[in-house]
Structures are given as C-alpha cells and as structure tokens.
C-alpha cells in the first residue's frame, strides 16, 4: 500500500490531509489549491481509482456569500413592483376564466419566475436603443407576467389585459409569445417547448456571424433565454449545447427556472433535476451557476461546518422537495430538519415562521443579480443559471408547489385575499373580489423607478421591428440567364437552384446578404464550389490543412466564411435559417438565406420549427432537394418524400412550389427574392428540387405569370383545349408529356399539357375568390386562375410525385372530370422507372388514366382502355401501392 493510501486509511490521517488543504488555501491561495487538486484528479484518473461521483453532490449556490456582488438597486421598491406585476398577471388570467369561461391561461409559471424576469428587466436586458439591444426568449407560460409589466410601463392598456386571450374582438392579448399576432411586441415565438432554447443558441451564433462578416456590430448584444426545467427534456432544448460551447458563445445565457414541476407532476420525482442539468451543461462545456437558496439560508450554511445540510440535501429527491414546498414551517421541521439531529441543531434557534420564510434562491433578488452579473462577466463559454423556485409561488394552498399548479386558472376569494396579504398589495376586499388591476400613478416611486431602469437600459422589451430598408434584387438575366435560355442540355433542378443562388452571391449589391445553409450534404447538392468561393463560417478560421488542400474545391473554413455548414442536424440548420430569415426584424439587416436539405427531412422532421419560423415572419428560401417519392432511386422509404408539399400548404405564409424545369426554378427564386427583399413581405418560399437529370428547355414567352400563380399551359396557348387535359408537376412532368405523346401515337387522341408549379397557390387563390363571390352576391363573380385555365368539360388528369391529396386541393374548382394520380404509400428502393410504375405515375399509367376518364365521359370505348392496360403491361390485379 502506498504512503498516500495509508494516510487516507485512517480517520485522523484523513483529517490531517483536510487540515493541510485548509492551510494551503490560507497561505498559498485558491489558485494554487485549484491547480494541485486538478493535478491530483488527473493522476487519479490515470491510475483508474478516481470515483465517478462524490460522497455527496454540493447542492448549494455556486456563488458563495463572500463573492456575492452587492445588489445595486432599490430592493424594497423592486419587490413591491414585482408584487404588483404578480397580482395583475394573476388577475388577468383568473378574470378571463371567471368572466368568459375556460379561456385558459397560466399563472403558476410566472409566479415562480417573477424575480428572474424582474432582475433581467431592471438590470440586464438591454433595449434596442443600446447597441442593438439584447434578445430575450421568454418562457411562454410566463406571458401574463410580461403583459402585466408592459401594463405598468404604459405600453399596454387595461383593456388589453381585460381582453386576454380574446383576440378576435380586437385589442386582446395572445396566449403565448406570437410575433404574427402581436407583430410590434413579441420578437420570438417560444410556445412549443424546446424551440426557444435551440433558436437562442443559433441566434447567438448568428450575432457572431454578422459581426465576423462585417455586416453588423453585435458585440454589445446578449442573448438571454428563460426556460423551464421540464422543457429541457425536449431533444431540441439540448441539441445546440455543444455548438454553443464549441464556438465559445459567451454572448448567450440560459436561465432555467427550476420549479421542479412539469404540467402533471415533478420533473424528476425520484431524482434531482438541478443536479442532472448541472452535469449535462458541464459536460457540454458550459459555465454553470446554481442559485438554489435565498439569503435567509446564509447563516445556516455558515454554521454548518461538517456539511450535514449538504448531505441532507443530496439525499432529498425532488418529489420530496415539492411536498416540502407545498407545506408550512412546522411540516418542514418535522419532515426535513428533524430527520437528521445535526441538521436539526443548525436551526434549533429558529421558529416555525422563520423556517417558513426560508426562500429558494430563484426568489431572491440578491442571489439572482449576482448570478446574472457573473454570467455577463464570463468569457469564452456560454452560461446557464439554474434557479430553484416554487411553482405557483405566493398562491398558497391554491397552487404553491401543488401537482395541479399548472392547471390553476381560478382562485377562490379567500385564496385571492391571501395572495394580496402575502405581497402587501394596497387592494380592498372589494377590489380583490372584483379582480381589479392595480397600477400606481405615473409619478409614483414604483412607476418612476421602473421607467428609469428601462431608460437606462435602452428602452422597453419585448418589442419588434417590422420592416428594414429594402434591398434591390438584380435583373434576373444577370444571374439566371442560363436557366431562361437553355440549349436543351440535361440537368437537374437541384443544380439549377444551387447555380442561381451561387450567382446571386457574386452580385455586388445583395451578394453579401445571401446565406447558404446546409446540413452536411453540400457535396450531394453540388455546392462544393462554394467551399472555396465563399468559405465555410468558423469563428476560429481553419486551424489545420485540409486533406483535400491540393484540389480545386478544397474544404475551406474562414472567420468571414459565408456558408453555414451545420453538420448532421436538421433542427440546428433550420434554427440557423430562422436566425438569418428574421435578421431584417431582429437586427435591421435583411438577409436572404437558402437552406438546402433532403426534402424528407424538412416538414416531416422539423415541422414545428418551420411553423415557428412562419409565426416569426421569416423571409427566406427552403430548398427541399432530392424531392418527391420516386426521384431518389435506391434510397427507399425513409428518404423518399411524398407529403412535404401537403404540409407546406397548411402554413399560411409559406409559398410552396414544385418546379419541373430550371427556368421555373429561376423565376420562382427571382419572384421570392423581390417579394421578400424589395416589397418587405412576411413570407417564405419552399421550393422542391430534384436530382434527376433531363433535358432543360428554354422558357416559353409569357410564362412567368403562370409559373408564379401555379400553372401554365405548355405548347401553343392560343389553340383550344384538346379532348383531354394532362397536368404534370415537378419530376413527373416529363412522364406526363410522354403520356400525351403515347395518346397521340397509339390512340390518335390529342392532349393539352400543363405544368403545375404550385397546387397550394392555385387552391389559395381559388378559395379566396370563392369566398369573395359568396359574400358579394350582387357583384359579377370572378374566376380564379385555375378555373379559367381548366375551364370546359374535357377531363383533367393530374400526376405528381406527391400524395394524391396534393393535386386534389384544386379539384373543387375544376368542373370537368378530375383524376389525381400520386405516390400514396411507403417509399421503396429501386430505379426511378420501377418506382413510377409501382406508384402508377409513369407515362403508361397516366395514358391509361386519361383513356379511362374519356371512357367515363362516353368519348372512348371501354375496350380501348382494356387494350391499353394489356399493351402497356400494367398488372390490373396488383394491390394499390398505398396498401402494401
């Protein structure tokens, strides 16, 4: 046995080592002691004897009292302001439910986070007048508290509060942060759990991107995110943690409101979520600051020389902490302190009421301010503040630390009066019963203080800028002439899309505003040329010589790189896109982001993030590459997309297109860029692109309007429609054209062929005109584009690489017989030709569908249909593709 091991074997010898450590700290300082312990830990790990866990986990504040910075504000005044805001938030929700039924709303979350928000609002959250301002992601269930503060600030009226969750009548407030519904107020939508954290990370990174590329001065801006401990279970909540650490985002702080409760019960009833989160963030490389206990605990900790209290805390699970929080001092004495004689001795001088007054750290302004300050002063890595609170703090038996706290929307009169008394609010019993809002006079100390703090910090938050200075898009011939006038060479629409935005990058006007984004498939999409052309963004540049340094398209990282190569994270890449797509509002710097990805990994995989982008009024392009169910030969079920356009059609400000030709792709990108950059329209474009090479024709004259509206006729437009109309979209248009040729060659039937670029745009316009006609019965009815283009009785057969429900969006507006062919069912691995035959969207099946439609109209004998089925080798007895 070694000398050190022998020394640790006996209790007296262990004490000697501890005394020696104390002496080292006293005489040499903490730095020397820290270095020694690090060296010992390293050696212990090398010897394989270092334990994975300590005998107890330090369940205490990270910042000791001796290092706690003094509180700079008026403590009593801030407490009074917080109490007023608490009451107004409570009254707003209870009033809405009492007067108007079950409108919903949440009180308990804000009650737990009130002090967190007020420390931020009064001391740290910079307004837009100060270097661009800070960016704050608010815990969504705390929205009533943010509204209540804005009421005191004079930014919202009493009528606003009275109409909480009553938006249709005008003047009401939306349930959660919604930029679409309150475009001057909310900056970020956070209502879906997990979206706020990952968006905050990539927003902080985008601040650095703008700075490093010389587009904006962002060094004075900070990103704050207030989130729930239960919310951290969402995969998206922790998906960006390593990126934040890797890129040293010290402009980012998470504050996790650890009230230990989810919607239904404890976050970790049998464990300790704060310790779990500490390990998670530490492992990801973050600075962790725990704020667990209020100032009332300081004297107890000082007296606890043997760490008995820490051992007791370590043995107490969150389920028990919840029970302790829900009961009074007497209960806590019996069920916590009395369970350990040494712990009981520490509080032997305290009464039950004094025990009851012991606060958790998240309700202590001093502790929180010290944590916020330390976070802002931390350099080289992001910080998370883990603030322990009580859900429903101040709600007493009606909701404080109760399982049902999240659902508490109505309080009885006695509970309301108890709330008033706890926070010393100047309200009479009658005012309490009437749920009256309370706002001190404009000249009162409270309002004066509140306004002075915001003035010093640069203005009010949250607030949102709606517009930015427009940018001029160059003439389309400057960057997409190759697509408009083609020599018939075979190419894919993916190649066309990449070439279009690559050429835009070269434009001296808006080139610097283009943000190409990819989730680790740049080479797949033909974007390798951008590696050298614009570089891949890296905050540290390139610290190595790439393996392919000798090639023309070598992998080049640069501090001012323009391409964002996000790695294998669709959630991260779309969050990066959102940051760029909302830069016009957040930073006043319009950008034009192009995020290109496998279309199957878009709406289906990160649809909630895309919906949040829509709510946030994002402007940019989503390019769904290798799109459709039959174009990605060989990949199979999990990669083949047949539904993204159907999902896209449900998002009001998403303009979704499925172009078949390069010129269509170019026209759509040009239109989108002009609408977003020149006209300041709050919309974004989803464009699918295929990896299949086929002959690219030149753009027909006068086709632009039809391309943008969603459909146009190929060939001579002045001729009347033929016996049958064939409509093709995207990758299936060549099959439809071939089907028309078969009908003429084999059966002597003429067909008119149309290219459908957007069924959703056609359906939207038709629905709007249908409504207009319905509500204007005395006005001459108007016809939509699709009704005009497909008027008449000749049957219409539509074939796409998507499910049949997509083209069926326009079927109510077509009076003729309408047949939709699509790719319903699971994908398969095979060749494109085999897949199209299987899903019955190849030229033979389109031709048979046209013949069957004509037979149904009595224009063709049914025997011809049977003959065609035989001649084309179609297995009429095979099961439908969506059933196998």
What integer pLDDT is reported at residue 54 of this predicted model? 52
Closest to 17 (Cα-Cα) out of 29, 4, 30 = 4
Q: In which band, very low, low, confident or very high, does the pLDDT at 39 lie, cut at 50, 70 and 90?
A: confident
Give the lowest-confidence range in 150-159, 212-221, 484-493: 484-493
What integer pLDDT is reported at residue 107 of this predicted model? 77
Structure tokens at 631: 């174009």
Tens digit of each residue's pLDDT (9 = 90 or more) over 111-130: 899 999 999 999 999 999 86
Q: At what angle do helices 662-673 and 493-505 cross, to 10 degrees?
A: 40
Tens digit of each residue's pLDDT (9 = 90 or more) over 751-797: 999 999 999 999 999 999 999 999 999 999 999 999 999 999 999 99
pLDDT over 70 at 337, yes or no: yes
Tens digit of each residue's pLDDT (9 = 90 or more) over 515-547: 999 998 888 888 988 988 899 999 999 999 998
> Percent of the chain having pLDDT more than 90?
79
- Residue 69 DSSP label: P
More confident residue, 591 or 265: 591
> Percent of the chain having pLDDT more than 70?
95
Q: In which band, very low, low, confident or very high, does the pLDDT at 170 lie, cut at 50, 70 and 90?
A: low
Edge-to-edge, what's the strand order for the sheet holding 724-728?
711-713, 751-756, 724-728, 796-799, 818-821
Structure tokens at 145: 């508290």
The residues facing 563 across adjacent strands are 536
- Residue 716 DSSP label: -
What integer pLDDT is reported at residue 264 of this predicted model? 79
pLDDT over 50 at 1, yes or no: no
- Residue located via tokens 């009785």: 793
**Summary mean pLDDT of the chain:** 92
Three-state secondary structure readout of 449-497: HHHHHHHHCCCCCCCCCCCCCCCCCCCHHHHHHHHHCCCCCEECHHHHH
pLDDT over 90 at 426, yes or no: yes
Cβ–Cβ < 8 Å for 874, 848: yes
Chain centre distance of CA 693: 35
Q: In which band, very low, low, confident or very high, does the pLDDT at 405 lie, cut at 50, 70 and 90?
A: very low
Question: pTM for the full model?
Answer: 0.92
- Residue located via tokens 């016009």: 584
Tens digit of each residue's pLDDT (9 = 90 or more) over 51-67: 555 545 689 999 999 99
Q: In which band, very low, low, confident or very high, does the pLDDT at 49 lie, cut at 50, 70 and 90?
A: low
Cβ–Cβ < 8 Å for 865, 841: no
């Amino acid at each position: 046995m070694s000398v050190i091991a022998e020394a640790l074997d006996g209790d007296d010898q262990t004490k000697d080592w501890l005394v020696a450590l104390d002496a080292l700290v006293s005489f040499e300082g903490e730095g020397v002691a820290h270095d020694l312990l690090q060296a010992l830990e390293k050696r212990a790990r090398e010897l394989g004897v270092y334990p994975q866990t300590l005998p107890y986990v330090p369940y205490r504040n990270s910042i000791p009292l001796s290092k706690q910075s003094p509180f700079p504000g008026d403590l009593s005044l801030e407490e009074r302001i917080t109490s007023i805001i608490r009451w107004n938030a409570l009254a707003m929700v209870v009033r809405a439910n009492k007067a108007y039924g079950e409108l919903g709303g949440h009180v308990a979350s804000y009650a737990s986070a009130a002090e967190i928000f007020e420390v931020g609002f009064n001391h740290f959250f910079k307004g837009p007048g100060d270097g661009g301002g800070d960016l704050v992601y608010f815990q969504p269930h705390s929205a009533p508290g943010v509204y209540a503060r804005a009421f005191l600030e004079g930014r919202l009226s009493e009528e606003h509060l009275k109409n909480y969750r009553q938006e249709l009548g005008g003047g009401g407030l939306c349930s959660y942060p919604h930029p679409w519904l309150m475009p001057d107020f909310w900056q970020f939508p956070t209502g879906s759990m997990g979206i706020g954290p990952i968006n905050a990370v990539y927003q902080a990174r985008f601040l650095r991107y703008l700075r490093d590329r010389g587009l904006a001065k962002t060094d004075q801006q900070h990103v704050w995110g207030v989130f729930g401990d239960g919310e951290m279970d969402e995969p998206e909540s922790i998906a960006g943690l390593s990126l934040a650490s890797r890129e040293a985002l010290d402009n980012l702080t998470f504050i996790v409101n650890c009230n230990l409760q989810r919607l239904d019960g404890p976050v970790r009833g049998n464990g300790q979520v704060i310790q779990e989160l500490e390990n998670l963030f530490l492992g990801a490389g973050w600075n962790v600051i725990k704020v667990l206990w209020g100032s009332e605990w300081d004297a107890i900790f000082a007296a606890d020389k043997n760490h008995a209290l820490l051992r007791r805390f370590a043995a107490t699970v969150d389920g028990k902490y919840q029970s302790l929080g829900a009961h009074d001092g007497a209960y806590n004495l019996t069920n916590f302190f009395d369970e350990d004689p040494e712990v009981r001795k520490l509080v032997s001088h305290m009464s039950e009421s004094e025990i009851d007054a012991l606060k958790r750290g998240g309700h202590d302004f001093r502790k929180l301010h010290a944590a916020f300050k330390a976070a802002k002063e931390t350099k080289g890595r992001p910080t998370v503040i883990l603030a322990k609170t009580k859900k429903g703090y101040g709600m007493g038996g009606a909701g404080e630390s109760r399982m049902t706290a999240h659902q508490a929307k109505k309080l009885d009169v006695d509970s309301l009066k108890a709330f008033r008394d706890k926070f010393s609010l100047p309200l009479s019993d009658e005012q309490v019963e009437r749920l009256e809002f309370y706002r001190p006079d404009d000249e009162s100390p409270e309002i004066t203080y509140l306004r002075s703090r915001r003035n010093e910090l640069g203005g009010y938050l949250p607030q949102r800028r709606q517009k930015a200075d427009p940018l001029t898009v160059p003439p389309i011939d400057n960057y997409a002439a190759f697509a408009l006038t083609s020599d018939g060479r075979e190419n894919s629409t993916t190649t066309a899309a990449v070439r279009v935005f690559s050429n835009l990058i070269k434009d001296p006007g808006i080139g610097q505003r283009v943000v190409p984004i990819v989730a680790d498939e740049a080479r797949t999409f033909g974007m390798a040329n951008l590696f050298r052309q614009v570089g891949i963004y890296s905050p540290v540049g390139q610290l190595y010589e790439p393996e392919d340094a000798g090639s023309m398209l070598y992998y080049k990282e640069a501090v001012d790189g323009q391409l964002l190569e996000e790695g294998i994270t669709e959630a991260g890449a779309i969050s990066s896109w959102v940051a760029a797509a909302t830069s016009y509002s957040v930073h006043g710097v319009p950008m034009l982001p192009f995020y290109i990805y496998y279309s199957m990994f878009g709406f289906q995989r990160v649809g909630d993030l895309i919906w949040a982008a829509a709510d946030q009024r994002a402007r940019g392009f989503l390019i769904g590459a290798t799109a459709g169910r039959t174009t990605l030969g060989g990949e199979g079920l999990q990669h083949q997309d047949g539904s993204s356009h159907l999902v896209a059609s449900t998002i009001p400000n998403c303009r979704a297109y499925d172009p078949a030709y390069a010129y269509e792709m170019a026209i759509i990108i040009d239109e989108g860029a002009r609408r977003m950059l020149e006209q300041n329209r709050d919309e974004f474009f989803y464009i699918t692109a295929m990896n299949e090479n086929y002959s690219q024709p030149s753009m027909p004259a006068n086709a632009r309007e039809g391309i943008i509206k969603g459909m146009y006729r190929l060939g001579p437009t002045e001729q009347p429609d033929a016996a049958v109309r064939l409509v093709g979209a995207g990758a299936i248009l060549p099959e439809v054209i071939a089907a028309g040729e078969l009908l003429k060659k084999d059966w002597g039937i003429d067909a008119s062929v149309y290219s459908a670029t957007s069924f959703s745009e056609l359906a939207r316009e038709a629905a709007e005109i249908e409504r207009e006609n319905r509500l204007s019965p005395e006005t001459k009815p108007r016809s939509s584009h699709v009704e005009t283009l497909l008027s008449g009785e000749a049957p219409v057969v539509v074939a796409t690489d998507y499910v049949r429900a997509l083209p069926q969006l326009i079927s109510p507006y077509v009076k003729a017989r309408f047949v939709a062919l699509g790719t319903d069912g699971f994908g398969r691995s095979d060749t494109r030709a085999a897949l199209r035959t299987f899903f019955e969207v190849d030229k033979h099946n389109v031709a048979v569908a046209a013949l069957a439609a004509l037979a149904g109209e009595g224009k063709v004998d049914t025997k011809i249909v049977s003959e065609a089925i035989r001649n084309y080798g179609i297995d009429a007895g095979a099961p439908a593709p969506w059933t196998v």
